[in-house]
Amino acid sequence: MNPLFLFDYDQCKNRFLQYQTAIEKFWPDVDLRTFSLKDGTAMDFIHAAPHQADQLLIISTGLHGIEGYVGAAMLEFFMKEFVHKLNHEKTALGLIHGINSWGMKHFRKANENNVDLNRNFVWDWSDATTLQNNEYEELNSLFHPKAHFSNRARQSLSFAWKLGQTLYKKNQKFITRAVTLGQYKDPKGAYYGGKDYEKITKHLMEMYEALFSVYTSIILLDIHTGYGPKDDMYLVNSRYEYRTQADFTKQLGYPFIISTTPEKFYEINGDMIDYIYRLQQTTFPDRHLFATTFEFGTLGDSLYGQFKSLQATIEETDHYVTKRGSRTSIRRLFQKLYAPSDEKWQNKAVENAKQAFQGVINGFLL
């Protein structure tokens, strides 16, 4: 296994806390801010700034808890390979570890309330039409398996049969929208966005607003895993980003760039980066923003890959809310999807991250 990757929350957290001392070699003003969550976990934020700076680079991890392990590896890689390359007199740095630290510790994507935090950054909770997910409601039985089989092969066959029937009646795009858009009516279902802001969501909103009041330019890189082509990392830009894919490909020198639109990737309600763009556009229009997701693909976007991804998500959510099924077997598939231990995959992820980090530094920060 690549030594950058750790799969224990406490080990990742302890490694992150050591960054403060290392960063103090480059910046005169460094502080650690901690937002405590459940089970002794916490979101940790290291903020390092020169005496005068107008631009800030943020790298955030663990918005989807279990994905925080790959995020932690990328923070370690950034610290080893890139932190010394920044312009320390002009650029401030923010590193966020374990936004959903409870989910990270327990190898869940959602938090302790079964809320998907990347569906919780809702701009307007009164906008019922936007938050409606008719596709999810129509496929509700697919997301809530009534039968449970002790034999995993039979369970997979049952799910495959039901999914095949759904594909025959609908289509793949219909199912993808049902899954990824986010839903706000079924607290025991997958991709549940909640009824109101979670505490950590509110905290992050206040933090981003405070940072916009200080810096004229913010670059934010949010680390995720799971979706997209197998073994490649895509920069997934917000639908509110006005610059084109071609613009960024030229500026960053990175070939894999798409947007969160139904045509290019998939549409999301309550997305954190979308929220940050809307905050900038409505409240801080004189500020400059580039925020994107580093999305490391795992099982791939083929029909089989999407089948396994959907199966893992449904079984994991069902186990959490009903305690049915083997946690060991479910976690094995879930980790393969969101926190792969395969060294070949890890090495390729690091290779892609290296190219993208360098592109962001060259394109925005030098």
pLDDT score for 238: 94
pLDDT score for 143: 82
How do the domains of the chain map onto residue ranges? 9-126+195-297+332-365, 134-190+304-326
Place of tokens 């839903």: 183
Q: What angle do CA 176, 178, 184 make, to 5 degrees?
A: 140
pLDDT score for 326: 60
pLDDT score for 233: 95
* Gap between the Cα atoms of 22 and 53, Å rounded: 20
Residues in the chain: 366
* Gap between the Cα atoms of 28 and 42, Å rounded: 25
Helix (H, G, I), strand (E, B) or coil at 205: helix
* Gap between the Cα atoms of 314 and 311, Å rounded: 5
First to last CA, the chain: 33
Classify 75 in phi/psi space as left (phi over 0), alpha (psi -120 to 50) or beta.
Answer: alpha
pLDDT score for 259: 77
pLDDT score for 260: 64
In tens digits, the chain (366 residues) has pLDDT values of 999 999 999 999 999 999 999 999 999 999 999 999 988 999 999 999 998 889 999 999 999 999 999 999 999 999 999 999 999 999 999 999 999 999 999 999 999 999 999 999 999 999 988 899 999 998 887 887 765 555 556 666 777 777 777 776 777 778 878 888 899 999 999 999 999 999 999 999 999 999 999 999 999 999 999 887 788 899 999 999 999 888 999 999 999 998 766 555 567 899 999 999 999 999 999 999 999 999 999 988 777 777 788 888 888 887 777 776 567 777 888 899 999 999 999 999 999 999 999 999 999 986
Q: Kindly give the residue spans of alpha helices, DSSP state H, lying in the chain.
A: 9-17, 19-23, 68-81, 101-105, 134-138, 140-143, 152-169, 172-180, 199-212, 245-252, 272-283, 303-322, 327-338, 343-360
Q: Which CATH number fits domain 9-126+195-297+332-365: 3.30.479.30, 3.30.360.10, 3.40.630.10, 3.40.47.10?
A: 3.40.630.10
